Structure 1
Amino acid sequence: MDRLELEKRVEELNNLLHQYGHAYYALDKPLTSDAIYDQYMQELLSIEAENPDLIYPDSPSQRVGGEILKGFGKVVHEFPMLSLSNAFNEEDLREFDRRVKAAAGHDVSYICELKIDGLAISLRYVDGKFVQGSTRGDGTVGEDITASLKTIRTIPLRLKESVAIEVRGEAYMPKQSFVKLNAMRDEAGDEPFANPRNAAAGSLRQLDPKIAASRNLAIFVYGIGGDGSLFGQDSHSDSLDYLAALGFETNKERKRCATIEEVIDYVGEWGESRSALDYEIDGIVVKVDNFEDQEQLGFTAKSPKWATAYKFPAEEVVTTLLDIELSVGRTGVVTPTAILQPVLVAGSTVGRASLHNEDLIKEKDVRIGDTVIIRKAGDIIPEVVAAIVEKRTGDEVPFEMPTNCPVCDSELVRIEEEIAIRCVNPQCPAQMKEAIIHFVSRNAMNIEGIGERVVDLLYKADLVHDVSDLYTLTREQLIELERMGEKSVSNLLTAIEASKENSLEKMLFGLGIRHVGEKAAAILAEEFGTLADLMVADAERLVTIHEIGDKVADSITTYFSNEKVLEVLRKLEAYGLNTAYKGRRRQDVPTDGLFSGKTVVLTGKLSILTRGEAKEKIEAFGGKVSGSVSKKTDLVIAGEDAGSKLAKAEELEITVWNEAELIEALGEKE
């Protein structure tokens, strides 16, 4: 493929991937399968890897970002990002309406939008391409968070028109993502985020954009910077339609209201039903719709006179804190939970609320027996806001964190620089139950048929104490358990047996070594090859590995120095579990193989080998399999119905084999 054709193909791939991405993430209407999308993305990545000068700022490959920024630059907003005046009740809204009509001299229509509780941002496009994103800051100067904003899939990197435009929006974290993130932070002993807004802001204001990429953020855009009529629209409603046509995601729950009474009805409807949304809102933004009316009304020093923000009152209720319970997680973190007199909050009955850690309890001075105010953080997670000190009788009991684990009675430890208090006994029953649930999970050992209920049954029957005991279970033991029939038992034993063949990275992740997630487990397994070699590695060796830092290295060496851990690992190996990495290791790739140093492209339908088998065999003999044909391609393997790749290979006079020639060559080498 010559340079001109390469550039053309990059442009084609960029256009396709932008189109597919917008349809999938913004419109929720996929235009193609995940496999096709991934195929095009891999082809683009392959071309960009060999031609770095063809990596454009708006390339879909640049969403996640790999570079950790040294700091945030300052961005001066071309158009100030003003704040809004507030309304807190119906009378405030009517007073706003009176001021507007008096200044306009006639009746006006309003556009009402849900007020997303997130982080206000500005997006700047030149020639239709996303060039810069920033926070609101003080309204005049914000922080450059372009790299993090690129990770949000609903922000188009390229618009459907080649325009220069500054767009305003609200980045937010969906409720489910917020719950998941706080659960992970709780488990790790980190301070949870107070609400989705703080979580979204904290995610985007990270110097490493990969953090933002991992947190499933989203955005709604709500306006254009500067004069709203700049692009030919007559009203704010029209401008939102225009933004949607450009490829942005706008909130479709907006409504145009002819009178302030319609606005009040709209506010009331969402005040009652907002908990049904999958994102958090804290009010309704009310704007005069017509741009000529907006221009006539003008601005104060801080806010437009043609808009106001109605703020929903926070739903806080009063109840009694009956007790404080402690639970022990998989990593040993001891978490206090408030046991409450059940009360209705934001549409559901609440009887428990997390208190997160001892420091928070002391900071809020919450005592057993207190009358407390509770609410749902982000309309989701029940939390204790404060104790009503004036209602104390003197019978309230200050909470004291015990010095020993509430489950196994081992001494609790507070590790330096951590908020959490932990039980460090690896044989603690509470930890072991959670550890087994993690060990059998899909992304670890993937043993179907074992969930929380079955683990509880196994513990009650004294059949398991650690993960190795799973491999001693028999049909006779399982059939006696509640609701375990012949088929369930047979399937479970088959799944347990099959798990013995998993590659090492599955076991490493399943063991639940602190700070070792799926990615780190895969890196370690590929690096060391066997469990035995990893176990004897010291921290100095571990930190030489890319993405393995001091904290992870210390955690690994501490884990493998524990005699009880070593005993479990010896059992697992004795029971026949694979402890080797089954993937291809870099150091195992031959330098003198049939395909050493060669780039091979597979195209068309293979009839004897699968595409995966062919790729594995080529790599086993030192070759690199690429997704696209270029001047750097050394060999093309063409199956049936080979298309453009074969044509391109012939054009570039690249050697072409059929499948039979590949198999013959491999046979000679094997």
Structure 2
Amino acid sequence: MSPAEAQKRIAALRAQVAHHDELYYRKATPEITDFDYDTLKAELAGLERLFPEAATAAGAESPTARIGDDRTEGFVRVKHRLAMTTLDNTYDEGELREFHARLVKALGSEDLAYTVEPKIDGLAVSLTYEKGRLTRAVTRGDGEEGDDVTANVRTIRGLPHTLAAAPVPELIEIRGEIYLSVEEFRRINQLQEEAGEAAYANPRNLAAGTLKQLDAKLVASRKLEIVLYGMGVCEPEVVTSQTGYRDQLKRWGLPVVELFSEVRGIEAVCAAIRDLDEKRRALAYGTDGAVVKLNDFALQKKVGFRGMAADGRAEAARKLSPRWACAFKFAPDRAETRVRDITIQVGRTGALTPVAELEPVFLAGTTVKRATLHNAEEIARKDVRVGDAVLVEKAGEIIPAVVAVLVEKRPAGSAPYAFPRACPVCQTPATRGEEEVVWRCPNPNCPEKVRRRIEHFASKGCLDIDGLGEEMVDLLLRNGRIASIPDIFRLKVEDLLPLKKSGEVWAGNLIAGIAARRQADLWRVINGLGIPQVGAAAAKDLARTFRSLPGLAGATEAELLRIDGFGEKTALAVRRWFADPANRALVDELQAVGLEPTPPAAASSALAGKAFVLTGTLPTLSREEATAKIEAAGGKVSGSVSKKTHYVVAGEEAGSKLEKARALGVPVLDEKALLDLLGAD
């Protein structure tokens, strides 16, 4: 490559990286994967080293000389007392060994102590505690200053606002990562589907977007979590090593990283990383690598930071990266396959979601046959076509997604995909609201929407009607035995006998299964109605508060907003649903056919309002059975441990929740102790 070609390529790469920085840090809507972004940035850094004059001639400051900037409009900007730096990262074990070799040369010893911990895929934040009390939370921003997100961070249930044990510094900046658990990510995406809106791509982007919301109630409803591991200013100093700091964080009652290890020497570091790679998918949150740090704080200070002059003065703080730490990133789980077809999935709210039908390929432990294409704009941006060779990746290790088209392998004569402008099932013209990306079928009687609504109502998480799964719903619809949800309760044995050879047995079983659910728990019925923004947890809150469908139907917005965790969006969704005449008619018809939902039992005096958290596998009770028993006794089951948790119920392979309970002094029960408590009550 000539200097002129290098200058042109450097300028192009800088523009690309700046574009992706804007999408990733400010808008939380990246177009490419972390791996592809790191590849672009590595190419740019390599060219800048090889052609320094061309790099200078290319003009604007290079993104390799600064960290991404997550500052956005609407937030007060706060300067960090000590800059928040970014880590050098690598996907290559050889480069990791070079990192160790540089430290050996600087410190004169091969026998260096390191810590190895998971690299959480979230949003960096700095918490300031003064005299043991949380006073401020700030995003990393550009490293020198960030956005004040204190109000939003205070909604994180597992974060103590006061340090629990001595020694307590006069002032300390505690750094960490805000993230969403896989379970919570799935719950929110279920609500998106119920609202007819596009699913979020991965937990990291959703966590980042949530933290930058101006409505603290919305932030609280999404159950962000936090893990803490780093330190800024500390006055006076209270620990001397990473290991000691983690132990002190635990004593303070703060959440810390799991799978943390202290090792000596580079061979042990590499072994710890390989072990972490094998175990990380069992964690409740996404990880994208391992962070390696010198354990001793005195040695950290000795080697210092890149970008710091010999006299100790720093250049712009946002250019610094510690010489004593390195991120080893795991290569993404990817596989090449081919798009056999692109189909449109119609959701029960009418959302038209494109899906790539793939040649089966083994990926991250499972065989993948389908991958989401998200929406029409995403297909057009990536130019995905039928017949294309594509790379498939599990986005956030959860949802299979097409991340790239191998254009060089595209078959001759292929044509761009034309997103349908009508529902593929009922042919009703599709609609799309202003500033929305999702096309929808507006026909309330679309056969596919009806099918999906019935399947949802009968599903395990709703009425849990034994024998009425997807295949049975399809059979009943195709043969005209049902056309709506209330029709389920009108079925008779004689209606079913002609549909199967062994008619009497299965017909009797199905009718018995339906009859058994006429007095289903009220929360199950509410969940089954498919109210936007209302999943199982919200349905239980509504059932406890209003205790009947008529009571819920007449609820005011003010009454709904008084429910813990309900924001304006959820309250408005509930009010709008019951204001719709068709929905009120559905509720009336369900009551007319004999559905009599059972309200929650009156809370017992001993367990009323008690908060439980379940973790691990119990010997005999499933998670659902344990939850049902606790709720029947008046308790409430939460997903995260905090000072407000009354009991943690731990089984085999209990993880960070058990560790956090012990740190906070929350009583821990095994299954027998839980049953004794419930029995005694």
Query: TM class by shorter-chain length?
Result: 0.5 to 0.7
How is 1:360-439 mapped onto 2 (pairs within 5 angstroms)?
360-439=378-457
For the pair 1:173 / 2:180, whether they are aligned, the reply is yes
Q: Which residue of 2 aligns with 1:127?
A: 131
Checking the alignment, whether the CA contact within 8 Å between 1:235 and 1:291 is kept in structure 2 is yes
Q: Which residue of 1 aligns with 2:251?
A: 245
Checking the alignment, whether the CA contact within 8 Å between 1:130 and 1:157 is kept in structure 2 is yes
- Structure 1 residues 552 and 186, CA, compared in 2 at 3 Å: closer, same or farther? closer
**C-alpha separation between the residues in 2 aligned to 1:209 and 1:186?**
23
- Structure 1 residues 83 and 229, CA, compared in 2 at 3 Å: closer, same or farther? farther
Checking the alignment, whether the CA contact within 8 Å between 1:275 and 1:346 is kept in structure 2 is no
* Secondary structure at 1:412 match in 2: coil
Q: Map Cα deviations across residues 455-487 of structure 1 (whole Å, 9 max, x no partner).
A: 234324432111121121113335666796587
Checking the alignment, whether the CA contact within 8 Å between 2:197 and 2:351 is kept in structure 1 is no
What fraction of aligned residue pairs are identical, expressed as a percent? 38
Matching residue's letter, 1:477 = D
- Structure 1 residues 109 and 549, CA, compared in 2 at 3 Å: closer, same or farther? closer
From 181, 184, 191, the counterpart of 1:184: 191
* Secondary structure at 1:284 match in 2: strand
Post-superposition shift, 1:212? 2.7
Q: Map Cα deviations across residues 90-139 of structure 1 (whole Å, 9 max, x no partner).
A: 22112111211111122322111111111111122223222222211112
For the pair 1:498 / 2:519, whether they are aligned, the reply is yes
Q: Which residue of 2 aligns with 1:153?
A: 157
**C-alpha separation between the residues in 2 aligned to 1:228 and 1:99?**
30
Q: Which residue of 2 aligns with 1:86?
A: 89
Task: Answer with 213-222 or 513-522: which moved more.
Answer: 513-522
Matching residue's letter, 1:287 = K
* Secondary structure at 1:423 match in 2: coil
For the pair 1:325 / 2:331, whether they are aligned, the reply is no
For the pair 1:95 / 2:98, whether they are aligned, the reply is yes
**C-alpha separation between the residues in 2 aligned to 1:603 and 1:327?**
48
From 305, 318, 323, the counterpart of 2:323: 305
TM-score (norm 1): 0.66
**C-alpha separation between the residues in 2 aligned to 1:174 and 1:212?**
14
Matching residue's letter, 1:80 = A
Checking the alignment, whether the CA contact within 8 Å between 1:118 and 1:172 is kept in structure 2 is yes
* Secondary structure at 1:367 match in 2: coil
- Structure 1 residues 493 and 550, CA, compared in 2 at 3 Å: closer, same or farther? closer
Q: Which residue of 2 aligns with 1:265?
A: 271
Checking the alignment, whether the CA contact within 8 Å between 2:388 and 2:406 is kept in structure 1 is yes
- Structure 1 residues 485 and 322, CA, compared in 2 at 3 Å: closer, same or farther? closer
Matching residue's letter, 1:253 = L
Checking the alignment, whether the CA contact within 8 Å between 1:134 and 1:146 is kept in structure 2 is yes
From 434, 443, 466, the counterpart of 2:484: 466
Checking the alignment, whether the CA contact within 8 Å between 2:393 and 2:400 is kept in structure 1 is yes
Q: Which residue of 2 aligns with 1:293?
A: 299
Post-superposition shift, 1:367? 0.5
Q: Map Cα deviations across residues 306-337 of structure 1 (whole Å, 9 max, x no partner).
A: 11111222233221111011111110111110
**C-alpha separation between the residues in 2 aligned to 1:86 and 1:582?**
54
Post-superposition shift, 1:369? 0.5
Checking the alignment, whether the CA contact within 8 Å between 2:518 and 2:596 is kept in structure 1 is no
From 216, 228, 231, the counterpart of 1:221: 228
**C-alpha separation between the residues in 1 aligned to 2:352 and 2:605?**
55
Of structures 1 and 2, the larger Rg is shown by 1
From 274, 283, 299, the counterpart of 1:277: 283
For the pair 1:235 / 2:241, whether they are aligned, the reply is yes
Matching residue's letter, 1:279 = Y
* Secondary structure at 2:321 match in 1: coil
Q: Gaps spanning 5+ residues in structure 2: where? A: 1-72, 308-319, 562-567, 608-681
Post-superposition shift, 1:394? 2.1
* Secondary structure at 1:124 match in 2: strand
Q: Map Cα deviations across residues 121-175 of structure 1 (whole Å, 9 max, x no partner).
A: 1122223222222211112212222222223233222222252332111111122
**C-alpha separation between the residues in 1 aligned to 2:541 and 2:443?**
23
Q: Which residue of 2 aligns with 1:32?
A: none
- Structure 1 residues 82 and 432, CA, compared in 2 at 3 Å: closer, same or farther? same
* Secondary structure at 1:99 match in 2: helix
Q: Which residue of 2 aligns with 1:624?
A: none
Matching residue's letter, 1:284 = A
How is 1:649-664 mapped onto 2 (pairs within 5 angstroms)?
none
Q: Map Cα deviations across residues 336-378 of structure 1 (whole Å, 9 max, x no partner).
A: 1001111122232211101111111111111001111221101
* Secondary structure at 2:233 match in 1: coil
Q: Map Cα deviations across residues 27-68 of structure 1 (whole Å, 9 max, x no partner).
A: xxxxxxxxxxxxxxxxxxxxxxxxxxxxxxxxxxxxxxxxxx
Post-superposition shift, 1:441? 5.6
Checking the alignment, whether the CA contact within 8 Å between 1:375 and 1:383 is kept in structure 2 is yes
**C-alpha separation between the residues in 1 aligned to 2:154 and 2:101?**
42
Q: Gaps spanning 5+ residues in structure 1: where? A: 1-69, 584-601, 606-670
- Structure 1 residues 314 and 472, CA, compared in 2 at 3 Å: closer, same or farther? same
- Structure 1 residues 420 and 87, CA, compared in 2 at 3 Å: closer, same or farther? closer
* Secondary structure at 1:396 match in 2: coil
Q: Map Cα deviations across residues 535-568 of structure 1 (whole Å, 9 max, x no partner).
A: xx9xxx99999748997599559842x6xx7876
Post-superposition shift, 1:221? 1.2
How is 1:570-589 mapped onto 2 (pairs within 5 angstroms)?
571-572=589-590, 574-575=592-593
**C-alpha separation between the residues in 2 aligned to 1:245 and 1:455?**
54
**C-alpha separation between the residues in 2 aligned to 1:77 and 1:133?**
10
Aligned residues: 507
From 335, 343, 349, the counterpart of 2:353: 335
Q: Which residue of 2 aligns with 1:76?
A: 79
**C-alpha separation between the residues in 2 aligned to 1:273 and 1:514?**
36
Checking the alignment, whether the CA contact within 8 Å between 1:543 and 1:549 is kept in structure 2 is no
How is 1:20-59 mapped onto 2 (pairs within 5 angstroms)?
none
- Structure 1 residues 448 and 342, CA, compared in 2 at 3 Å: closer, same or farther? closer
Checking the alignment, whether the CA contact within 8 Å between 2:456 and 2:462 is kept in structure 1 is yes
Matching residue's letter, 2:218 = I
**C-alpha separation between the residues in 2 aligned to 1:542 and 1:121?**
34
Q: How much is the aligned-residue C-alpha RMSD, in angstroms?
A: 4.0
Post-superposition shift, 1:532? 13
* Secondary structure at 1:413 match in 2: coil
